[in-house]
Amino acid sequence: MDSGYVLDFSNRTIDHFFEDNFRIEFYSLAYATNGDSKAKRLRTVLGLSSNGQCSAILRKLWEYRSTLSGYYLGESPELEEEIQKAFYSVLTKLDGDSTISMVAQSLENFDDTNTLSNLINSIERDVRDDRFAAALDRLHTYCQRKFRILLEKNGRDVMESSPLHSRVGEYCKVLESENRLSAMTVYIIKTSISVFQKFNDIRNRESLAHDNELINSQEARYIVASICNLLRFMKSIEATDFGN
């Protein structure tokens, strides 16, 4: 992008590309603060975007680049391979940083103990080090504890041996009894029971909980992100409903 060009985009086609894929108005004044060329606008767009959105934009650009026959313009295939490796290395860092941020927003030391604080620190450390299979086991322990505390707060007895999805199911009953949530919200939480049940299975069979063959890192990353999304959603519900 040193020349100011971006791939084979014209002003019109790059504008359409960002509008169609990301609802970004590429030629907005907001993206002209560092210069008006396509390359400078793209750098500004990336600089103002979250890590997750940067990753999505770069992936889509690479996908488009791959449709351009022989785009390396006569350079060797070996150099093209090096460029691809460097590109995906950047994406891995962006994705990792995005997941770290999501984990930090989703987990909380809700009973103010050193044990729970250490558990959260361990999960965050595993995520930073790209050890998602290890994080799965500890995240499962966190969830078990979180839902036990939530249920006990609401006068529900929790058996030590009750599996995670059973605790989530009991939590759904608590929410229904409160009668302050929309039908859609209750439905979303109910559907999460099966997700936590599968999470329970993965933890037992493909994590460091036992002598297992570990699940692959990319799949483990997706599971951690998905569980944290659910936890963050439930955290927002607790702040709204259980604090009244």
DSSP track, 68-98:
STTTTTT--HHHHHHHHHHHHHHHHHHHHHH
User: Are 113 and 71 found together in one domain?
Assistant: no
Same domain, 83 and 116: no
137 lies in a domain? yes
Residue 28: both structure tokens together: 């907005």
**232 CB-contact burial (10 Å; exposed 0-12 / middle 13-18 / buried 19+):** middle
* pTM exceeding the 0.85 threshold for the entire prediction: no
Our count of domains for the chain comes to 2
Domain coverage including residue 56? 11-94
Indicate whether 89 and 121 sit together in one domain.
no
Domain end call among 60, 94, 128: 94
Looking at the fold, whether 89 and 116 belong to one and the same domain comes out as no
Nearest to 122 by CA among 193, 192, 195, 224: 224
With respect to residue 1, please indicate whether it lies within any of the assigned structural domains: no
Residue 167, domain member (yes or no): yes
> Residue 45: pLDDT above 90?
yes
Q: Which tokens is 158 given?
A: 């929790």
Give the N- to C-terminal CA distance of the chain in Å, as an integer.
Answer: 54
* pLDDT, greater one: 116 or 137: 137
**75 and 128 share a domain?**
no
Average pLDDT of span 218-240: 83
Residues 133 and 88 in one domain: no
Within-domain flag for 163: yes
- Band of the pLDDT at 242, cuts 50, 70, 90? very low
CA angle 192-101-46, nearest 5°?
115
Q: How far apart (Å, rounded) are the C-alpha atoms in residues 40 and 48? A: 12
Does residue 232 have a pLDDT over 50? yes
The span from the CA of 32 to the CA of 43, in Å, is 10
Of the listed ranges 55-59, 185-189, 234-238, the least confidently predicted one is 234-238
163 plus 68 within the same structural domain: no
What does the alpha-carbon distance between residue 64 and residue 175 come to, in Å, rounded to a whole number? 46
Domain boundary among the residues 39, 72, 94 is at 94
pLDDT tens-digit readout, 92-132 = 777 766 677 777 778 887 776 778 888 888 888 888 777 88
Please tell me whether residues 151 and 208 are part of one structural domain. yes
Q: Phi/psi class of residue 133: alpha, beta or left (left: φ > 0; alpha: ψ in -120 to 50)?
A: alpha
| Same domain as 79, residue 50 | yes
Residue 161 is encoded by which pair of tokens?
Answer: 């041996």
Quick one: 66 and 17 in the same domain?
A: yes
**What was the pLDDT predicted at 22?**
85
